[in-house]
Structure 1
Amino acid sequence: MSDPFNSPPRGGRGGRGQSTPPPAGRRRGGGRTPGDNGGGRSSPDPFGPGPRLPPPTNPFVGPATRSGWSSSSSEGRSGSRDGRRRRGPFRRGGLFGAHAPAAEDDPFGGPSVTSGAERRRSLQRAIDVFRNDYRFTVEKATVTTNGVQLRVIEAPGGGHVPRRFVAKASFPEVARAVAMERDWMHRLRFARHIVRWLTLTPDPMAPGPGNVGFNLPYFFMEYLENGTLRQFEERVQNVTRLALPDGSEIAFLLPNRLLWTIFLCLIRACVGMAWPPEGPDAVLEAPTESEPSTFAHMDLHNENVMFGDLEESEAEHRTVPIVKLIDLGEANERPAGESSVPPDPSAVDTYDNVLLLANYRPNTGRRNQGIDRNLLDIGVLMASLISKRTAFVVTCRRNMMDPSIHPFLDADLRLLIQRCLAVDPENRPRLEELTELVGRDDSPFFRGESYYKRDQGFAATGVVNPAEVLETDEVLRFIIQACILNADPNTSSRI
């Protein structure tokens, strides 16, 4: 493999990569491959690695096409399963006439490190442990201030199909930080909306007969192929107009149905951090009777939120790919009890009191400083996504009070995000309340196309209602296909 120091890729912190073709024959849904039981690291093979074989052929390499990847990569994605381009309602007759590729930034973010003899040795040791095991091919290495990120292909065998995964290994001076991140990852290993912890059996980085191993902290995690929330935001920012059937145009805004689904995934992640599932049988995160953890992500921005894959067996992820949090390097448990810093009275007056948020305080539910912080952070994420403007919390509050930013935003969604952004943590929702809302028969999180066709009389006149067009299945499918699943075929600069 080429020396990554000659032309280092840009940064990298957590989870996985972006927009590469999935393994041939990849299983959909909730199945796990052998060895991915979420447990701790297995003991090394006492008999050492198997016989040395020629390097396996990369099963993922295939020519890129304008609509994604050629039929040789059998991903079978929703919306373009036959590989043909569908004509969409977007400007200039193409899928997204104004769409331009997102900037080629690494989905992990952060500055690259290109010097230091000890770091070079750590990088080479990490690469060598995989090169010396016939099961693996190191596809790419990224060097960052936090250590080494390796994108690795595991050859088929042992009852599983070929797959990609990511190994994160420490440099000596950041060993403690990587060890702490590893421990947080293991603690949350069964949370569906946190990047998934992987266990390899036998562990190629553990010392054993014929294998010196890697003597610094490391861990393995799933490879998320569909990019970060930031990359998605950059793509949709390039789509400004939507062509309507009558020849007119309207400003392009993200559909409520897409926003509800992303918001739901972020809520599930918050629940998983507050009540880490105790076993792999927990399909989706849910509150329990135990006291919630004060765990806070503490670095929850749009580069640490990534899209996974569609899950056709789950209603929540059947149309929009699952959204997961990555990078627990800054995470910690917040102090018990109330914050020692009270809410700013003037900010409460100009935001919470104007919106009467105290009227929505639930009578039940538990909160702590960790939950308070995570809810505030997902409020900022959602407000930035809706306004197409990455901003600090004060600006996000102002934007969510401005109805002109997204004039067709669902009023219920707007209110929930406004509550997450409340200055006084008492005025924020409770995770139990949000989870109960998800489970209701009339849950707003699952409103379909028909819900937004409110004015049938208006539609009968033949005049197009822009709010209805944005919520159609066609618009939603094309956004998912063009801006998430088939967004950037060229992955040469990504981990």
Structure 2
Amino acid sequence: MNDRETNLAWNLKRYFDHDGRYFLESYIGSGAQATVFKLRTRDSDNQGTDRFVIKIPWTAELQWDSFHTISEVEAMKTFRGAAHVVQLLETTADQDPLKKENVPDATKLPANRWIYTMASPGGPMEWLENGTLAGFMERAQKKGHPLPNRILWRLFMCLVRMCIAFAWPDAHDESKVELEDPRDEVPRSICYNPDIGSGNLVFGPFVPDDINLEHRLTPVLKMIDLGLVERRDTPHKKAWSKLVSMSIRLIGEQMFMINGVGRGADPDPTLDSDLEKIVSWCMSSSEDDRPQLLELAIWVSNAVKGRDAAWYREQMPGPANDGEEDESILNLVHELIINANTAPE
């Protein structure tokens, strides 16, 4: 932490110590707009619903010449119930220590727009302990061999689900967290996030017996930073499709950067050629050449469901693809995600 972040940490500690219910556990990290810390309740050492994340913005919301963003709180409220977007915890004045007055030695925070996320009672944990996609990519690269295709397809599916969440922003049921599925209608508006980067994508808890097949070998990947989300009206399908296509290109570029996709100019016998083609189509400079969101969701979902270890043994035989077995993938997930050191330096 630099001096600014250290001073903020001490300031937060005064608020939470004065309140007595919460403990400022650690610093998570900082970006251009905000700093993030981890909290927990004082009366529990568990990893469940007693753990919180708090995000403290440094300045007022950024506005760019090319578009107008909505507030991050508004964006998070919009995506309540979307499984691949971090869930917001709202607090009342008596629940929030930072809204207290006359806390000794505590100064006013930079902006009255801090955000809490936590584990929802009865729902999936929103304390995301398993680190960022960027950290996972770095650890995978250090291993020196490509990621299994079955992991890549599952990461791709999470990114596609995020696209679906943004394409139909008002379709979510805030009373329950569910997978984002395509819909038939053209919505009145769409959301667009230009900041889909590996540092803003974080792995959630790993649930090997998850009800959703796509999350049984790898943890769910969630978007955590909504500070640059734009909301635009979509009066007709063409306007909606254009914005969706922009999001598809972003996730294609993200897949290209993940270890294993776009490994080099030479053909790679270990990389699923269909995966490589689809990612390439998503990144096309021509909007007309990119896949539609519905067909993209079908392609990737079918690969997740149908391309198991037996499929790869038959279609891509050879020692290079031994890593497609369930046991090999689970071992790799534990090594690079579950048991990895994901704490910031």
TM over 0.5: yes
Q: After superposition, where does 1:47-62 map in structure 2 within 5 Å?
A: none
Q: After superposition, where does 1:67-106 map in structure 2 within 5 Å?
A: none
2:162 aligned partner: 269
* 1:264 positional shift: 0.4
Conservation of the 8 A alpha-carbon contact between 1:224 and 1:307: yes
Which of the residues 84, 90, 105 maps onto 1:193? 84
* 1:488 positional shift: 1.3
Q: Kindly tell me: are residues 304 and 455 of structure 1, through their superposed partners in 2, closer, same or farther at Cα, counting changes over 3 Å?
A: closer
Q: Kindly tell me: are residues 147 and 258 of structure 1, through their superposed partners in 2, closer, same or farther at Cα, counting changes over 3 Å?
A: closer
1:309 aligned partner: 205
Offset from partner CA, 1:76-98 (integer Å, 9 cap, x none): xxxxxxxxxxxxxxxxxxxxxxx
Q: After superposition, where does 1:339-350 map in structure 2 within 5 Å?
A: none
* 1:437 positional shift: 4.1
2:339 aligned partner: 486
RMSD: 3.4
Which of the residues 222, 229, 249 maps onto 1:376? 249
Q: After superposition, where does 1:423-442 map in structure 2 within 5 Å?
A: 423-437=285-299
Q: After superposition, where does 1:332-411 map in structure 2 within 5 Å?
A: 332-333=230-231, 367-387=240-260, 402-404=265-267, 406-411=268-273
TM-score by length of 2: 0.79
2:36 aligned partner: 149
1:319 aligned partner: 217
Matches of 1:206 and 1:186, distance apart in 2: 20
Offset from partner CA, 1:351-375 (integer Å, 9 cap, x none): xxxxxxxxxxxxx999434312211
* 1:223 positional shift: 2.7
Matches of 1:262 and 1:415, distance apart in 2: 16
1:13 aligned partner: none
* 1:450 positional shift: 0.7
Which of the residues 226, 230, 233 maps onto 2:130? 226
Q: Kindly tell me: are residues 125 and 421 of structure 1, through their superposed partners in 2, closer, same or farther at Cα, counting changes over 3 Å?
A: same
Q: Kindly tell me: are residues 431 and 474 of structure 1, through their superposed partners in 2, closer, same or farther at Cα, counting changes over 3 Å?
A: same
2:96 aligned partner: 204
Matches of 2:271 and 2:139, distance apart in 1: 20
* 1:448 positional shift: 0.9
> With CA pairs under 8 Å and 6+ residues apart, which has the higher RCO, 1 or 2?
1
* 1:380 positional shift: 0.9
Matches of 2:253 and 2:54, distance apart in 1: 30
* 1:144 positional shift: 5.5
Matches of 1:380 and 1:444, distance apart in 2: 19
1:449 aligned partner: 309
Conservation of the 8 A alpha-carbon contact between 2:159 and 2:251: yes
How many pairs are equivalent? 317
Q: Kindly tell me: are residues 115 and 309 of structure 1, through their superposed partners in 2, closer, same or farther at Cα, counting changes over 3 Å?
A: closer
Matches of 1:255 and 1:147, distance apart in 2: 35
Q: Report SS of the residue matched to 2:84.
A: coil
Conservation of the 8 A alpha-carbon contact between 1:367 and 1:430: no
**Larger C-alpha radius of gyration, 1 or 2?**
1
Identify the range of structure 1 (160-169 vs 220-229) with the bigger mean alpha-carbon deviation: 160-169
Offset from partner CA, 1:209-247 (integer Å, 9 cap, x none): 88799671111123311111111111111122xxxxxxx
Q: Report SS of the residue matched to 2:61.
A: helix
Q: Kindly tell me: are residues 434 and 155 of structure 1, through their superposed partners in 2, closer, same or farther at Cα, counting changes over 3 Å?
A: farther
Offset from partner CA, 1:261-314 (integer Å, 9 cap, x none): 100011001111111313233521012244244311111121111111113322
Q: Percent identity between the aligned chains?
A: 27
Conservation of the 8 A alpha-carbon contact between 2:153 and 2:300: no
Q: Which residue identity does 1:193 align to in structure 2? A: H
Q: Which residue identity does 2:85 align to in structure 1? A: I
* 1:139 positional shift: 0.8
* 1:385 positional shift: 1.3
Q: Which residue identity does 2:295 align to in structure 1? A: E
Q: After superposition, where does 1:214-293 map in structure 2 within 5 Å?
A: 216-221=112-117, 222-240=126-144, 252-276=145-169, 277-281=172-176, 283-292=178-187, 293=189
Conservation of the 8 A alpha-carbon contact between 2:137 and 2:259: no
Q: Which residue identity does 1:301 align to in structure 2? A: G
* 1:205 positional shift: 4.1
User: Does the alignment pair 1:176 with 2:54?
Assistant: no
Conservation of the 8 A alpha-carbon contact between 1:302 and 1:381: yes
Identify the range of structure 1 (369-378 vs 124-133) with the bigger mean alpha-carbon deviation: 124-133
Q: Which residue identity does 2:133 align to in structure 1? A: L
Conservation of the 8 A alpha-carbon contact between 2:70 and 2:229: no
Q: Which residue identity does 1:187 align to in structure 2? A: T
2:323 aligned partner: 470
Conservation of the 8 A alpha-carbon contact between 1:365 and 1:430: no
Conservation of the 8 A alpha-carbon contact between 1:179 and 1:217: no
Q: Kindly tell me: are residues 209 and 267 of structure 1, through their superposed partners in 2, closer, same or farther at Cα, counting changes over 3 Å?
A: same
Matches of 2:315 and 2:228, distance apart in 1: 48
Matches of 2:22 and 2:4, distance apart in 1: 27
Matches of 1:145 and 1:367, distance apart in 2: 30
* Structure 1 residues without counterparts, runs of 5 or longer: 1-7, 9-111, 241-251, 339-363, 389-395, 459-464
Matches of 1:301 and 1:290, distance apart in 2: 29
Q: Report SS of the residue matched to 1:238.
A: helix
Q: Which residue identity does 1:470 align to in structure 2? A: G
* 1:451 positional shift: 0.7
* 1:424 positional shift: 1.1
Structure (1 or 2) with the greater helix fraction: 2
